[in-house]
Amino acid sequence: MDAGQIYAAKLTTADRAVMAIESDSDLAMGMAVGEPPAILAALARRAEAGTLSDLRVWYLLSQVHSGSTILRRELLGRIRPRCLFMSGIERALIKADPAAEALIDFVPCAFSGSPRLLRDEIELDACVLAVSPMDENGFFSFGAANDYTSVAAHCARTVIVEVNPAMPRVACSTPLHVSQVSAIVENHVPLLSFGEAAGSPEDEAIAALIAEMIDDGACLQMGIGNLPAAVCRRIEDRRDLGIHTELLTPAMAGLVHSGAVSNRLKTTHPGRSVYSFAMGDEPFYRWMDGNPQVYSLPVDVVNDASEIARNDNVVSVNATIQVDLHGACNSEFMGGRQYSAAGGQLDFVRGASASKGGVSIIACRSTAQGGTVSRIVPKLDGPVTTPRNDVHWIVTEHGAANLRGKTLRERAELLIGLADPKFRDELARGL
């Protein structure tokens, strides 16, 4: 059969497709924009009916589709989340019912390590994901969600795809062929949309400091949120920037539109903006669709520190929750609970540090909870996401400090200078 015939033979409804998912099995779910809403709703219906139980779901960064279906409170237990990165979905569940925390299993893992975990350690029974429409050669694109999802789709025994014409078709290293798919569900719905609001005054001050550290020819990695977007708005006059980032956003696309990004100086994939997953709005997804200037790769490639470092002048910008007086960062734990995860922060800190001319920047507002709590602290409240040995620059609205080559006392003095003035005396007394 040709690709079209194979497609037609495997096309079915979501409810029929998920009958292949067994109880007491391991399933990977597409990440973020890659969540397949129709398939997840069908899985939830099976769990509600009692025909599916003890389904271990492996994923990062859950969104509204999973939150309104398989991750509903009443289904926890039959559905057993194996969460590698907590989002607002899990935080809301735990806030509404603290007992839910015991039913959400958090798995510490670097983002770059998630493909190996799913490929080599779990023996995945199934993978469900959203994909772009099939091309003339029978290949689906992972679009906005290559990350770990592409690796899971290539190693799971059962693969169910949800074909959505709204998913952009983006070139990638390992597309998924229709012959590798167990079942196909069609669902034309808008993709999840994520806006970029104006930053706070503190964010704008931090962005101004960071922008001064980005020169022509830099290769950028930016995290998520208002702060990276504010940085991007301030560097639209740069030239010959490159993009090698785990997350691609509308703010980074704006740098392409402005002419700031050419990607011509990159060593890896010159002429292309490389990313692992993308989150944005409908115009952004349209820009991605069929765009030869963008290229997606699995996260174990994009976030590999040695791969990052092959490019010169890498500038990595990430956020943290707390910084201790020696420079160690907690970027994942808050209020006595897991808040997010390590993600790819350390991957890019190390990759940028190993890059010729590279700069690693970790940023945070100096305070939290309406200015009542200092983010510069004597001791972290949670795990060390980025060790003090690896930290390069720390930036708050009060300034920027290069910690490389500094003694412990020198680091403490620099970091106290980045704290809110009302906390500086107290911090200094601890020296």
> Do strands 322-324 and 277-278 pair parallel, antiparallel, or not at all (unpaired)?
unpaired
Choice among 90, 162, 246, 397 that is catalytic: 246
Q: Name every residue whose Cβ is closer than 8 Å to that of residue 280 and which is 6 or more positions away in sequence.
A: 193, 194, 248, 249, 250, 253
SS3 280: coil
- In this structure, what token pair is assigned to residue 322? 């707390």
Our CA angle for 359, 360, 361, nearest 5°, is 115
DSSP state for residue 172 in the 8-state scheme: B
> Do strands 333-334 and 337-338 pair parallel, antiparallel, or not at all (unpaired)?
antiparallel
Q: How many whole angstroms separate alpha carbon 366 and alpha carbon 381?
A: 16
Bridge partners of residue 324, in order along the sequence:
377
> Per-residue DSSP letters for 3-70?
HHHHHHHHB--HHHHGGGPPSSEEEEE--GGG--HHHHHHHHHHHHHTS--SEEEEESS--HHHHTTT
Half-sphere exposure of 110 (CA within 13 A, CB side): 21
Our CA angle for 76, 80, 84, nearest 5°, is 120
Q: Is the torsion defined by CA of 96, 99, 105, 111 positive or negative?
A: positive
- Strand-by-strand arrangement of the 329-330 sheet: 329-330, 322-324, 376-377
Is residue 282 within 8 A of residue 193, CB to CB? The reply is yes
Strand ranges (DSSP E) for 249-375?
273-275, 277-278, 294-296, 314-319, 322-324, 329-330, 333-334, 337-338, 359-363, 367-368, 373-374
Is there a catalytic annotation at residue 74? no
361: left (phi over 0), alpha (psi -120 to 50) or beta: beta
Half-sphere exposure of 91 (CA within 13 A, CB side): 16
Is residue 82 within 8 A of residue 114, CB to CB? The reply is no
Bridge partners of residue 248, in order along the sequence:
278
Is residue 307 within 8 A of residue 268, CB to CB? The reply is yes
Catalytic positions are 246
